[in-house]
Structure 1
Amino acid sequence: MKKALITGVLGGIGSALAQSFRENGYYVYGLDIRDTDDHQADQLIQFDLHRFSTDDAYRSEWKLKFYALIPELHVLVNNAAVQLLDGLDDLKLSEWNHTMAVNLTGPLLLSQHFLDQLEEGNGCIINIGSIHQQLTKRRFISYATSKSALIGLTRALAVDLEGRVRVNAISPAAIETDMLLAGFDGNQSALDELRRIHPVQRIGCPNDVAKMALFLASESSGFIHGANLTLDGGISSVLKDL
């Protein structure tokens, strides 16, 4: 049985990823900062990605734990992310650093740690980016920058690793999750407008991301390497008139 590791597994996209991979025959390890009995993974591991990225002692401790907990791995999905809204006037360095640690450094370090297992299993890395890597809006400085860098990391790893492990990214536009709702402060009329301006006339659902991740993990996508697949309902083609 193939093994998949999904970070941020308790979020909307993470839950859909875990459910889809399990339904397609994978054993799923899920990492999340929270702990609960209500999850879609085969095994939930409570883990602080921010501390792993910033605390040497914590990282050393978890590297040893990972060898025991996850000796075999075929797919690493770097899905965990934080979205702290900020404009340049009020941007706090601590929040910028926190965003980069979770959204960028964490995926790098986990990719580095699990490289041998992934190479041995002819595996792949899938980074969950965002439309904000290309198109953004006010007060998303830290988040947009981190996702832009994550796509750059995806390409750089693909070139660096050559044929050892495939590395790709998915950049979704609006996906109906708690993170999206928080970004709109629960403004339902704004969400309705967001649905209307997508050419497909809806915003995405977490399962849209999960289906694309499954495709990237499959042997059918063996020639896709260093790619960033846009999943946006056509919104990146829209020029909206005022």
Structure 2
Amino acid sequence: MPATGPQDVVIITGAAGGIGQALVRAYAQAGCAVLGVDRSAAPEDLPARHWLQVDLARSVADADYAAGVFHTVRALLAGRPLRALVHNAATQVLGGTTELSLADWQLTLQVNLLAPFLWTQALLPELEAAPGSVLHISSIHARLTKPGFVAYATSKAALSGLTRAMAVDLGGRVRVNALEPAAIATPMLEAGFAGDPDARCTLDHCHPQGRIGQPQEVAAAALALTLGEARFLHGACLALDGGIGVRLHDPA
């Protein structure tokens, strides 16, 4: 892995969530100065050098608000190299085709798709100068989904598509890749299975590895894609799914 130092900055959105905190810790341990971005305050004991409370949806919809946010980001960068921009923030609005409202779609696309695009666009000069790379935390729902995930799955499919399109469009200027995790054992996921250990066990065993993923495993893959030696990876959308994406579910 290339040498990093306290002058190398990594920006992580959605930094207060389960995967986000694992990302912050992994990049800090790798020697980077982490700028955490989240709508919530920084959790205690999280080793982020800087923290910025931001409404990502508003940073898409309100040009004046966005200008202020990016002014603050550049002030925090203070000329240091932006080694990676990790788009981890997401919102998951559940609902089927007959239930989703326009507001549901607007929020989903603003946070899950437009914010990654516009933040990369705004920080492209800093990414090119570093040089740095962009990582989208997409989802298995980009390829495989289930009822009730219409907006979320659509946004993640679009995010993986954006990864490929930006890689082609930017060429050698900035690398752009994506991870597509399956179920990850975040506090939010575990809370959803509270009181139903049988369902949680079923979730484990539907993955060929016999378990779901851990946030630290997403972070390890993120480091490999952004700071690792495999710099020919560009436009890749890598499945991080314990093999569930290649399993045939056939009742016969």
Distance in 2 (CA, whole Å) between partners of 1:189 and 1:133 is 27
C-alpha distance 100-47 of structure 1, shift in aligned 2 (>3 A): same
SS in 2 for 1:5: strand
- Is it true that 1:21 corresponds to 2:27 in the alignment? yes
Specify which of 36, 56, 62 is matched with residue 30 of structure 1.
Answer: 36
Tell me what 1:160 maps to. 169
Q: Is the 8 A contact 1:104 1:146 kept in 2?
A: yes
Q: Return 5+ residue gaps in structure 1 as ranges.
A: none
Report the counterpart of residue 65 of structure 1 in structure 2: 72
> Alpha carbons of 1:222 and 1:54: their partners in 2 closer, same or farther (altered >3 Å)?
same
2-side partners of 1:43 and 1:139: how far apart? Answer: 37
The 2-side partners of 1:18 and 1:63 are apart by: 20
- Give the equivalent residue in structure 1 for 2:244: 235
Q: From 120, 124, 130, give the equivalent of 1:111.
A: 120
* 1:194 corresponds to: 203
How far did residue 186 of structure 1 move? Answer: 6.4
Q: Does 1:55 align with 2:62?
A: yes
CA RMSD of aligned residues (A): 1.5
Q: Distance in 1 between matches of 2:144 and 2:59?
A: 29
For 1:91-128, what per-residue CA distance to the aligned partner results, in whole angstroms no more than 9, with x for missing partners?
A: 11101110100000000011011111111111100000
CA distance, structure 1, for counterparts of residue 70 and residue 56 of structure 2: 12
Contact kept, 8 Å, 2:16 with 2:43, in 1: the verdict is no
| Cα distance between partner residues in 2 of 1:85 and 1:181 | 18
Q: Does the CA-based 8 Å contact 1:9-1:41 persist in structure 2?
A: no
* 1:98-177 aligned within 5 A: 98-177=107-186
- Over residues 9-32 of structure 1, what are the superposed CA-to-partner deviations in whole Å (9 max), with x where a residue is unaligned? 010100000100111111111000
Q: Supply the AA of the counterpart residue of 1:60.
A: A
TM-score (norm: length of structure 1): 0.95
TM-score of the two chains, using structure 2 as the length reference: 0.92
Structure 1: which amino acid aligns with 2:123?
A: F
1:179 CA displacement = 4.1
Structure 1 position 130, deviation (Å): 0.2
- 1:9–1:80: 8 Å Cα contact kept in structure 2? yes
Q: CA deviation at 1:187?
A: 4.0
Partner Cα separation in structure 2 for residue 110 and residue 187 of structure 1: 39
Contact in 2 for aligned 1:4/1:27 (Cα 8 Å): yes
Alignment of 1:73-112 (within 5 A): 73-112=82-121
Q: Corresponding residue for 2:48?
A: 41
Larger deviation, residues 200-209 vs 59-68:
59-68
Q: Is the 8 A contact 2:50 2:76 kept in 1?
A: no
**Quick one: which of 5, 10, 15 aligns to 2:16?**
10
Unaligned residue ranges in structure 2 (runs of 5+)? none
Aligned pair count reads 242
Contact 2:41 2:53 survives alignment (8 Å): yes
